[in-house]
Structure 1
């Protein structure tokens, strides 16, 4: 069987020209290093799946029209254990991907940003579905979900970060799924250093299904349950015995940012604002001087509704407790300041001598957050959040 690949008159399809022998053998054609079964290509009305096959007689040349997106993506139709392109493998039912922290994923301190970490969690989750052979053309949706016009939406997410990866560091990300009630799914992650095995971060999330047209939550169809349940694992990255209840903020919150408008670049493949953008809007309310000395150690998010491209968003933030020290002792300049602790003035030198200053500087602080859509009639909640912070420490928590 001889095949050649060339572009057709439309930019969305590529034509494969083949000479077919007289018998009905099954042939495979390598495209970009991958194998495509030509006899499985079937046409449909919307053009998502491929292609048409003209009638032919023995040894005639036959034209197969294949959507260019399918050739470029090569989405697997069967389970794979190794993905050499993404440095991913399946290990005991979980997906493990090796990632290098790139320059655009770090901040001025050469440490990975929280947005980069969240993006990596999202990417590895999608790659896990990709390797399972269940991925359709949606944002992580399976074939059964696409058939029922369903998409995934996250309802809750928690991330704990002990250490941050640095620029150029090689990390391994494990992700797996499990059941969450009758109609939900839990997805967990663990991030660690490939060089040392040190665990950097853990995360867990809960996902439910939404009808893409009605935008209402939906029960999980049995065919979808049959697709994903064989992948379920019982272990958890974070065990929450008593989940923290996040209180709702109102307009009296101390820190407020209004008139936040989504950009086109903020939208994902489901046409709503990406979850990572929510976190950026939350963190923008925290004072700059606090962010200079503290780094995020955990975040809990409770999603209430989606945010569209035309919504105007308001970000509210309130410190759960006031920072006890309004300044840090400047050792280099040998400055000694007086700080107020529960109404009593104490010399910072005395605090240092007793070790109290160090203990207070390492004490975590937390903020409560709320994103809501600002409308004249009512303010609808998008997501509630709670962030916990600790003093910035060295990004090298192990011997160099």
Structure 2
């Protein structure tokens, strides 16, 4: 068992020619760049004709040379800013960089919560793959887990956001794993701004094992624990665990979004709804006044049941602290959430319970 006492965010910062002779006896040379662009020139009487304009014979060569120099100049930055990730801190921490794309931001120009959560999930899977723990690219499933027909499922997630990145920002995500009791595993993430080194977000999730055939919880077999424990970091979760239960939701004073139907595209490789989709469902149910004036500061989610294709889900959101469902405080707003399966003749099983805190947007 190894121990890491602290983590510090660190800022991260073929060509060829083909010669041909056409039917007119004019020598043509085609230059092909690695971008797939083709620059063709016809050599006539010591000059090159390109697009109907007579150019000096060496113009195409000059263009090619400049393109190659520009590409070499750009290449190191692209590799250092956005990469497939690597192991750091003596192989106990996995680090990967991401660039925030235009389609990953909301109307206010900041990254969507779902975008950041998807990136955390990606680093978790790439961590296992880079460490050699994944069996034939089976999404975080180790060889022994595969032999015993087991897969990971998230039981609980806690997130705290200090600041949201914007379009074009490059972010660095560090992730590491720890043992969690006898039958669980804790995964931690720290997301930083590559340019400033500022911490943007912290998150911690508890993972449990599910039997693929019975769809029931399973203890971590000794063989699987032996595969994992050499990568465990003996530290507490990056966010202090909230152990209290969620209070009973008063459904007489809630915002409701009925009949959310799961689709094929909502499923992950384990044939159940991806955990980030649950987050999207509860955020859809938050009152528009909160979404326009406030931003998500933290959330605690408890995943109770899995949800599969074709299930119909009801989303409930209660704004806490006000009997009329209004905003109780200016400095923050708390909401309680619940996702419940729809069944004929009554309430179905609860698949998620959660709580979110919202603060005024930091323009």
TM-score (norm 1): 0.66
Which residue number in structure 2 is paired with residue 101 of structure 1?
A: 100
Q: Paired residue for 1:43?
A: none
* Separation (CA, whole Å) in 1 of partners of 2:279 and 2:298: 12
Return the alpha-carbon distance in structure 2 between the equivalents of residues 310 and 195 of structure 1: 44
Which residue of structure 2 lines up, in the alignment, with residue 60 of structure 1?
Answer: none
Verify the 8 A CA contact 1:163 1:200 in the aligned structure 2: yes
Q: Is the 8 A contact 1:253 1:316 kept in 2?
A: no
Cα distance change, pair 91–102 in 1 and its aligned pair in 2 (3 A) = farther
If the length of structure 2 is used for normalisation, what is the TM-score?
Answer: 0.73
**1:86 and 2:84 equivalent?**
yes
Contact 1:190 1:237 in 2 (8 A): no
1:378-400: CA deviation from partner (whole Å, max 9, x where unpaired): 41010101010000003xxxxxx
Say which of 352, 369, 384 aligns to 2:353: 384
**Residue 128 (structure 1) shift:** 0.2
Contact in 1 for aligned 2:319/2:325 (Cα 8 Å): no
Query: Which deviations, in whole Å up to 9, do the C-alpha atoms of 1:70-103 show, x marking residues without a partner?
Result: xxxxxxxxxxxx9x95143333311011111111
Deviation of 1:290 after TM superposition, in Å, equals 1.6
Q: Over the residues paired in the alignment, what is the CA RMSD in angstroms? A: 2.2
**Mapping of residues 1-400 of structure 1, within 5 Å:** 86-92=84-90, 93-136=92-135, 137-240=137-240, 242-249=242-249, 251-322=251-322, 361=330, 363-376=331-344, 378-394=347-363
Q: SS state of the match for residue 285, structure 2?
A: coil
SS at match of 1:145: helix
Provide structure 1 residue ranges, at least 5 long, that are not aligned to the other structure.
1-81, 328-340, 342-359, 395-400
Do the aligned residues in 2 keep the contact of 1:260 with 1:314 (CA within 8 Å)?
Answer: yes
After superposition, what is the alpha-carbon deviation per residue over 1:185-224, rounded to whole angstroms, capped at 9, x for unaligned? 0000000111111100000010110000110101111110
Question: Take 1:244 and 1:228, find their aligned partners in 2: how far apart are those partners?
Answer: 29
Higher relative contact order (CA 8 A, sep 6+): 2
Q: SS in structure 1 opposite 2:116? A: helix
